[in-house]
């Protein structure tokens, strides 16, 4: 039996906030290993025993402080993380990666290597999948795991020869050994539910503060928006959907074992003022993390009808595309307990929507928003700016469109072209030296547009000020 610690490195803490939910990627790997006789735990280094989440605008403002952590690799926070990992006495440590946390993984993994060279370390998740040369950057990490981590990690901790495991990149005499991708897990209904109990680094009396109500019902996304990592992280052609029956079973499991264990929702995604701003009393809220929960209309209707029929009484939120909605879906959502639909509108300019291959027009998106309003389903609107070639006039179209849809919450981003996306490759080909920028800059609350110098500061500020509309939401639920 191997002892494995799966780590979500600090990110929001460096921005002056924190993140208290369970990360599903590593939680799935942990339960897969635990079912097979190993001892795998989750360590969320972004957790804080604190209930004040800062506002999104503040995240933008804290960028300079954030950068300081990477200049001081001896900062007390890095030592705290290292010490918590070592106190677990792991045989293996695995880190979940996205582009912005690669620098954090580098700092932590180097400290672990110097403290105890016998601990084997691996990295997986979206950036590891997109960057096949990651081990050249992360010199203290032994293995990089591509795409779904369950099978490759199990083979690693069973001490199979890493140079022969599909989905694992390792080091050889002549450079990196890449065994290609592991076969996709076809039947995701049969995966064990993600780990929700073995939480390391948190005192027992605080475990109730962890939001474990995230559920993944789809692996992959069939769309190809150029700024999004999903088309390459997952294989668009093998998008897999869990059956409604299996999703309901996990909801019931959550309700039975976890829902009454918490006093209030500390939801990590609740980057709002404080717990009083949350009106969700005495429970958590299921978060369906799928890229597009509504991707298959027939399935989503069946699932919603089952939620209603079984009278689950659980509130939930999901991510969707406006052009998937129809009146029936919206009405079923309202009846089935939908507290929020998160919609990536991205832009109010059809020129930009076309450029990024959103495959949706603003007229279609407006229709979707109208249907949600008619059915009384609250929705959050996600917008982006800073696309290459985007002008002040385009951003103004976005601002006008945003006001027109009257969303319950506005989440505003400035584009970060993630490594390995189509947009990243286009920009590199057009002479943007993105590879010279530190990895930690690639997240969408870094305030300065990375690849656009056409948008004026004044218009950018007007765009960011859309967040002021959030205080006026009818329901007062803010960001959930
Ligand atoms: C839910 C979600 C969030 C939630 C929760 C995040 C969390 N830590 O759990 C919130 C809203 C907080 C969030 C925030 C951010 N997110 Co987010 N998020 C997602 C989303 C929609 C689903 C993630 C998920 O749970 N998937 C389900 C699980 C089962 O899949 P998985 O995580 O990919 O895990 C599998 C494999 O990747 C792999 N794996 C994952 N981790 C590991 C670790 C090891 C050791 C191994 C071996 C394998 C492995 O095995 C897993 C099981 O098969 C994804 C898009 C997507 N569909 O993946 C974006 C996504 C991961 N997010 C993204 C980004 C950019 C962010 C932010 C940086 C945004 C920002 N502020 O700028 C922050 C980062 C904060 C953070 N600490 O994570 C990008 C990452 C792209 C990139 N290259 O960087 C994604 C891919 C969105 C996109 N389409 O571009 N996010």
Contacts of 447 (CB under 8 A, 6+ apart): 60, 61, 63, 414
444 lines ligand 1 (CB under 6 A): yes
Q: Which atom of ligand 1 is nearest to the CA of 220?
A: 57
418 lines ligand 1 (CB under 6 A): yes
pLDDT of residue 27: 97
pLDDT of residue 204: 77
d(CA 209, CA 19): 11
d(CA 108, CA 325): 44
Ligand 1, atom 29, residue with closest C-alpha: 25
Residue 58 has pLDDT above 90, yes or no: no
Give phi and psi for 449, each to the nearest 5: -55, 135
29 lines ligand 1 (CB under 6 A): yes
The more confident residue out of 60 and 242 is 242
pLDDT of residue 40: 97
Beta-sheet pairing, 286-288 with 316-320: parallel
What superfamily in CATH does domain 211-472 come from? Aldolase class I (3.20.20.70)
Q: What is the mean pLDDT of the chain?
A: 90
Pocket probe mutation, ligand 1, options 96, 186, 272, 417, max atoms within 8 Å of Cβ: 96
pLDDT of residue 141: 98
Residue 477 has pLDDT above 90, yes or no: no
Three-state secondary-structure class, residue 379? strand
* 395 band by pLDDT with thresholds 50, 70 and 90: very high
Distance in Å, CA 25 to ligand 1 centroid: 7
d(CA 23, CA 8): 7
pLDDT of residue 271: 38
d(CA 271, CA 340): 15
Ligand 1, atom 32, residue with closest C-alpha: 25
Distance in Å, CA 131 to ligand 1 centroid: 15
For the segment 84-102, the average pLDDT, to the nearest whole number, is 98
Structure tokens that stand for 34 in this block: 């635990």
Q: Which atom of ligand 1 is nearest to the CA of 22?
A: 9
Sheet bearing 286-288, strands edge to edge: 214-215, 286-288, 316-320, 338-346, 379-385, 409-414
Give per-residue pLDDT as tens, 335-364. 999 999 999 999 999 999 999 999 999 999
What stretches of 21-75 show up as alpha helix (H) in DSSP? 24-35, 56-61, 63-71
pLDDT of residue 478: 53
pLDDT of residue 111: 98
* 292 band by pLDDT with thresholds 50, 70 and 90: very high
Distance in Å, CA 98 to ligand 1 centroid: 7
Q: Which atom of ligand 1 is nearest to the CA of 148?
A: 53
28 lines ligand 1 (CB under 6 A): yes
Q: How far apart are the first and last CA of the chain?
A: 39
Give the CATH class of 3-178: alpha beta
Residue 144 has pLDDT above 50, yes or no: yes
Q: Where are the domains of the chain?
A: 3-178, 211-472
Give per-residue pLDDT as tens, 150-200. 999 999 999 999 999 999 999 999 999 999 999 999 999 999 999 988 999
d(CA 64, CA 154): 40
Ligand 1, atom 14, residue with closest C-alpha: 269
Give per-residue pLDDT as tens, 253-273. 888 877 754 444 444 444 334
d(CA 303, CA 473): 29
412 lines ligand 1 (CB under 6 A): no
């Amino acid at each position: 039996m191997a002892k494995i610690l799966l780590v979500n490195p600090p990110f929001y803490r460096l921005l002056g906030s924190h993140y208290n939910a369970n990360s599903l990627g590593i939680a799935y790997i942990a339960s897969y290993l635990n079912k097979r006789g190993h001892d795998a735990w989750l360590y969320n280094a972004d957790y804080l025993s604190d209930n004040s989440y800062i506002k999104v605008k503040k995240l933008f403002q804290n960028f300079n402080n954030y950068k300081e952590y990477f200049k001081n690799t001896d900062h007390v926070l890095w030592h705290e993380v290292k010490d918590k990992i070592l106190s677990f006495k792991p045989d293996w440590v695995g880190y979940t990666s996205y582009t912005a946390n690669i620098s954090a993984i580098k700092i932590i993994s180097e400290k672990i290597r110097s403290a105890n060279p016998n601990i084997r370390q691996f990295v997986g998740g979206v950036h590891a999948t997109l960057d096949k040369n990651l081990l050249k950057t992360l010199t203290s990490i032994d293995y990089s795991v591509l795409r779904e981590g369950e099978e490759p990690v199990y083979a690693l901790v069973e001490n199979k020869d890493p140079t022969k495991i599909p989905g694992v990149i390792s080091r050889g005499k002549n450079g990196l050994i890449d065994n290609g991708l592991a076969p996709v897990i076809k039947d995701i209904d049969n995966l064990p539910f993600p780990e929700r109990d073995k939480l390391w680094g948190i005192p027992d009396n605080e475990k109730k503060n962890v939001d474990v109500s995230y559920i993944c019902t789809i692996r992959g996304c069939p769309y190809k928006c150029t700024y999004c990592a999903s088309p390459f992280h997952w294989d668009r052609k093998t998008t897999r959907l869990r059956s409604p029956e299996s999703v309901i079973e996990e909801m019931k499991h959550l309700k039975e074992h976890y829902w009454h264990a918490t006093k209030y929702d500390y939801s990590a995604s609740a980057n709002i003022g404080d717990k009083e701003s949350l009106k969700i009393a005495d429970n958590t809220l299921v978060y369906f993390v799928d890229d597009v929960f509504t991707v298959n209309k027939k399935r989503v209707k069946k699932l919603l009808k089952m939620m209603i029929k079984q009278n689950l009484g659980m509130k939930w939120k999901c991510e969707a595309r406006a052009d998937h909605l129809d009146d029936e879906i919206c009405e079923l959502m309202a009846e089935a307990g939908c507290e929020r639909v998160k919609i990536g509108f991205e832009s109010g300019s059809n020129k930009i929507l076309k450029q990024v291959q959103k495959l949706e027009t603003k007229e279609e998106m407006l229709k979707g928003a109208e249907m949600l309003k008619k059915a009384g389903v609250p929705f959050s609107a996600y917008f982006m700016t800073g696309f290459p070639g985007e002008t002040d006039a385009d951003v103004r179209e976005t601002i006008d469109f945003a006001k027109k849809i009257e969303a319950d919450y506005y989440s505003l981003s400035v584009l970060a072209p993630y490594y390995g996306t189509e947009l990243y490759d286009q920009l590199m080909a057009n002479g943007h030296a993105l590879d010279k920028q530190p990895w930690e800059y690639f997240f969408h609350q870094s305030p300065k547009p990375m690849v656009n110098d056409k948008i004026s500061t004044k218009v950018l500020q007007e765009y960011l000020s859309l967040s002021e509309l959030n205080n006026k939401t009818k329901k007062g639920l803010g960001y959930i």
